[in-house]
Amino acid sequence: MAPRKKNAPDAATTSSPVSMADLARELNVSMTTISRALSDHFSIGPAMKQKVLKLAKKYNYQPNHMASALRKGKSKLLGIVVPYIEGRFFPSVVHGIETAASKAGYNVIICQSNEDVAQERRNLDSLLSAQVAGVLVSLSRTTLDHKHFDKLRSRGLPLVYFDRVVEGDNVNTVVLDDREGGYLSTRHLLAQGCRRVAHFAGPQHLNIYRNRRQGYFDALREAGLPEDESMVIYTDMLQEQGAAGLRQLLALPNPPDAIFSAGDYCALGAMQEARRQGLRVPEDLAIAGFSNEAFTVVTEPNITTVDQRCEEMGQAAVRLLLEVIDSKGESFTPRQVALRPELLVRGSSLRPALAPVAKKMAASRAKTVG
């Protein structure tokens, strides 16, 4: 062990961190007093409190969270496990999480599963070892069973899933209300005067895509329109598939006058293909996507889409997690939160003739439906 020189003028370059013991020695009081003064304990007189605080500032005292956590058995660390930190969605959610967590005095450890269950398992072990106070997870695509999360539960570690969640009512989850998103989007297209609205659906084993499709059908039914499976194209939400999908739709005896795509990339592909086919967007074909990708405000026209409230999702997840953490002892009844999506009406779906009116309607709708 390196010899530590206490109470000695520090070496030229590096100095050891100041501990409570150092402050205690300096003031000729006990560590207890220091500890209490710093944590604003009622049993310490204001005079002493001031003295301690002043000295702490002078010596630039930083509490050692590890020691505190070790002693208390509770750290001020939250763990995040996401598939990856790229694209638009996850970074924004992480942004929201970090903001909310730091506001509550927590630091955040971030892990990526890279869409790999094995990695996800290791992430959990890693967070366990780091003694986090709770964990926020968005499942990897390859996660089929969730036994590895029992390890957390058996340790009594609070857990909240977001976006890609375990379904059930005994888990804490925060998701976007995808059904509502699909519903709002489709209803908007119908309000534009479109009568044959097609749908680009995503993989139906993922609940987000199932729900968006459900919202689409709900809006059709509400408008008294039939559910026509020939108008639904199943894709993996890739750009090229949007182009191919549109070609397929145009070959129908009765082609669509609008498309609600469950993803922006697919919508983009369709819009580009429409141009190649000589169709005007939105006059001949109205298009709406999903996710509010950055490029949707760069295309000509801009693409109507649904915002996923990434940041709110992060904040809601943290709020829920902290509730569970703070309720330690009493048994907390798991809760499932669904966030309102926001429809963003843009040029790709706004029929010029109806524009002034429709814009207003759409705007008020997007707000009031929430």
Residues lying near a second copy in the complex (CB under 8 A): 10, 13-15, 17, 60, 62-67, 69-70, 75, 77, 84-88, 90-92, 94-95, 98-99, 102, 107-112, 125-131, 151, 153-156, 268, 272, 293-295, 298-300
DSSP letters spanning 289-301: -SS--GGGGTSSS
Shortest spacing between CB 304 and a second copy, in angstroms: 16
Q: Closest CB to DNA among 33 and 291? A: 33
Q: Closest CB to a second copy among 86 and 167? A: 86
Q: Closest CB to a second copy among 256 and 282? A: 282
**In the block, which residue shows the tokens 């999360």?**
149
Shortest spacing between CB 89 and DNA, in angstroms: 36
Shortest spacing between CB 322 and DNA, in angstroms: 19
Q: Which does 294 bind (CB under 5 to 8 A by kind): DNA, a second copy, none?
A: a second copy
Q: Which does 363 bind (CB under 5 to 8 A by kind): DNA, a second copy, none?
A: none
Shortest spacing between CB 249 and a second copy, in angstroms: 22
Shortest spacing between CB 15 and DNA, in angstroms: 12
Q: Closest CB to DNA among 71 and 147? A: 71
Q: Which does 45 bind (CB under 5 to 8 A by kind): DNA, a second copy, none?
A: DNA
Shortest spacing between CB 121 and a second copy, in angstroms: 12
Binding site for DNA (CB under 7 A): 1, 4, 16-17, 19-21, 28-33, 35-36, 38-39, 42-45, 48, 63-64, 67-68, 70-73
**Burial of 166: CB neighbours in 10 Å, binned 0-12, 13-18, 19+:** middle
Q: Closest CB to DNA among 68 and 142? A: 68
Contact 270, 245 (CB under 8 A): yes
Dihedral angle computed from the Cα positions of residues 51, 57, 59 and 61, in that order, rounded to the nearest 10 degrees: 110
Name the token pair of 330. Answer: 């009493």
Q: Closest CB to a second copy among 39 and 102? A: 102
Q: Closest CB to DNA among 38 and 171? A: 38
Name the token pair of 365. Answer: 């709708």
Contacts made by residues 97-105, CB under 8 angstroms, sequence distance 24+? 97/136, 97/314, 97/315, 97/317, 97/318, 98/314, 99/311, 99/314, 99/315, 100/314, 100/315, 100/318, 100/319, 101/318, 104/318, 104/322, 105/76
* Closest to 290 in 3D by CA, of 245, 246, 260, 259: 260
Shortest spacing between CB 326 and DNA, in angstroms: 15
Q: Which does 35 bind (CB under 5 to 8 A by kind): DNA, a second copy, none?
A: DNA
Question: Taking phi first (over 0 means left), then psi (-120 to 50 degrees means alpha), and beta for anything else, what does residue 365 get?
Answer: alpha
Shortest spacing between CB 95 and DNA, in angstroms: 29
CA angle 336, 80, 323 (to 5 degrees): 45
Q: Which does 14 bind (CB under 5 to 8 A by kind): a second copy, DNA, none?
A: a second copy
**Which alpha helices (H) appear in 130-206, and where do they start and end?**
150-154, 178-191
Q: Which does 19 bind (CB under 5 to 8 A by kind): a second copy, DNA, none?
A: DNA
E strand residue ranges, 84-169: 107-112, 134-137, 159-162
Q: Which does 33 bind (CB under 5 to 8 A by kind): a second copy, DNA, none?
A: DNA
Q: Closest CB to DNA among 128 and 355? A: 128
Q: What residues contact residue 333 under an 8 Å CB cut-off, 6+ apart?
A: none
Q: Closest CB to DNA among 73 and 278? A: 73
Q: Which does 189 bind (CB under 5 to 8 A by kind): DNA, a second copy, none?
A: none
Q: Which does 125 bind (CB under 5 to 8 A by kind): DNA, a second copy, none?
A: a second copy
DSSP 8-state symbol, 200 = E
Coil/strand/helix, residue 165: coil
List, in sequence order, every residue forming a beta bridge with 337; answer none if it has no partner: 174
Shortest spacing between CB 298 and a second copy, in angstroms: 4
